[in-house]
Structures are given as C-alpha cells and as structure tokens.
C-alpha cells in the first residue's frame, strides 16, 4: 500500500469555510468516480509541522494507492472528467503545497482512524531492522500504521506513525506529535 500525501494551505484572504467546502467537493467527486488502483482519500487539518511553511495551519490529504503506477492514473484523473472543476476550484484557492510518497511498513493502513501523526527520523547508526523491531509493539496496536517516505520524495522526516491515540516514541526516537482533525470523510 502506498500513500501520496499532499500538504497545502489556503491563500491569504481565502475564507477557511470556502476552502474546506472546495476540498470536500473535490474529494467527493474523486470518491464518486475513483480511478483504477485508487482506494480512498482522507483529509486532515493540521498545524505544527516545523518543516511546513504554513503559519496558520495546513491541510494534509492522504491518497491511498495500490502501487506507484497509480500515481500517473491519479494525476490525470484528478484534473479530468467530473473531478476537473472541483479540483480547479480548490487549487485556485491554495497558496501553495508540497507532497510526499509513503509506503506502509508496519501495522494497518487505517489512515481515517488516525487522530495523531508522529513524524520522526531514524537515528544515525540505527538499522532499519532495529527501528522496525523497536516499533513492532506499537504498530501491532489496532489502527496504528508506520509509513516510510519513499526515495526521499517529500519534505520533513522519513517516518510517520499514525495512531488513533496520543503516543510517545520509545527512546532514542524523537519526533513531532501532531493532532489530526479529520475533515474527509466526515466523522
């Protein structure tokens, strides 16, 4: 399972309610006519990522995909057919955005159940196997998922641990724990 994760923020002067409505319209159109290999999308309102230049907060869209070939399909589908105008409306209201590509490594792809994201980097000198062994007990909790950025495609730390509850990383791991406010699908 792959996730294309897109962070974006509204342009100055854009009404927050209108921005959220435009996002909802786009994601509804995507759900109504999903491209092949696309599983679903989830949208969160977020604030506090140190590496994201969005002072007033941002939005984090997760697009769950079967594999990397679906990226081309999603890229075309997002701006065509019944999805074109809703996409363009949301895009016109955005000040900027950036994205990353993540693969699920441990746990579940229960992104919609997440209330927290913990973003962190692997400590220097620690092997990936050691990291996975250390996080295995956390990732075995229902609805937890450890996602790893692929090929350094995206900003911020390499790992994202999604969780339905606030968690603390085991030492020596250190990261930013961000509350997620799910907007789509509606709770």
Q: Per residue in 16-42, pLDDT tens?
A: 999 999 999 999 999 999 999 999 999
Span 74-98, average pLDDT: 95
Is the bond into 185 cis (omega within 30 degrees of 0)?
A: yes
Beta bridge partners of 120: 159, 175
Residue 56 has pLDDT above 70, yes or no: no
- pLDDT class for 87, splitting at 50, 70, 90? very high
Compute the average pLDDT of residues 51-74: 90
**All domains of the chain, ordered by start, with CATH?**
2-184 (3.30.70.100)
Is residue 135 scored above 80 in pLDDT? yes
Query: Which contacts (CB < 8 Å, 24+ apart) does range 128-137 have?
Result: 131/159, 131/173, 132/105, 132/106, 134/170, 134/173, 135/106, 135/161, 135/170, 136/106
The per-residue pLDDT of the chain, averaged, comes to 94
Q: What is the pLDDT of residue 50?
A: 83
Output the pLDDT for position 55: 65
The pLDDT of residue 139 is 87
Q: What is the pTM of this model?
A: 0.96
121 burial class (0-12, 13-18, 19+ CB within 10 angstroms)?
A: middle
- 39-54, pLDDT tens digit by residue? 999 999 998 888 887 7
User: 84-92 and 16-32 helices cross at what angle (nearest 10)?
Assistant: 160
- β partners of residue 99: 6
pLDDT > 90 in the chain, percent: 87
Residue 53 confidence (pLDDT): 74
The predicted structure's pLDDT at residue 72 = 96
Per-residue pLDDT tens over the stretch 104-121: 999 999 999 999 999 999
Give CA–CA dist 145/158, Å, rounded.
14
First to last CA, the chain: 23
Residues 6+ apart with CB under 8 A from 42: 61, 62, 64, 111, 112, 182, 184, 185
């Amino acid at each position: 399972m792959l996730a294309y994760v897109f962070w974006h923020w509204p342009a100055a002067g854009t009404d927050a309610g209108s921005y959220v409505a435009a996002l909802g319209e786009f994601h509804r159109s995507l759900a109504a006519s999903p491209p092949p290999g696309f599983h679903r999308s989830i949208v969160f309102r977020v604030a506090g990522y140190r590496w994201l230049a969005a002072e007033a907060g941002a939005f984090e869209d997760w697009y769950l995909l079967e594999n990397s070939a679906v990226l081309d399909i999603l890229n075309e589908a997002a701006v065509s057919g019944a999805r074109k105008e809703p996409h363009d409306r949301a895009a016109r209201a955005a000040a900027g955005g950036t994205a990353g590509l993540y693969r699920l490594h441990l746990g579940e792809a229960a992104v919609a159940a997440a209330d927290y994201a913990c973003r962190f980097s692997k400590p220097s000198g620690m092997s990936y196997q050691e990291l996975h062994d250390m996080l295995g007990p956390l990732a075995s909790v229902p609805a937890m998922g450890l996602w790893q950025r692929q090929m350094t495609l995206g900003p911020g730390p390499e790992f994202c641990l999604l969780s339905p509850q606030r968690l603390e990383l085991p030492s020596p791991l250190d990261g930013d724990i961000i509350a997620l406010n799910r907007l789509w699908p509606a709770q």
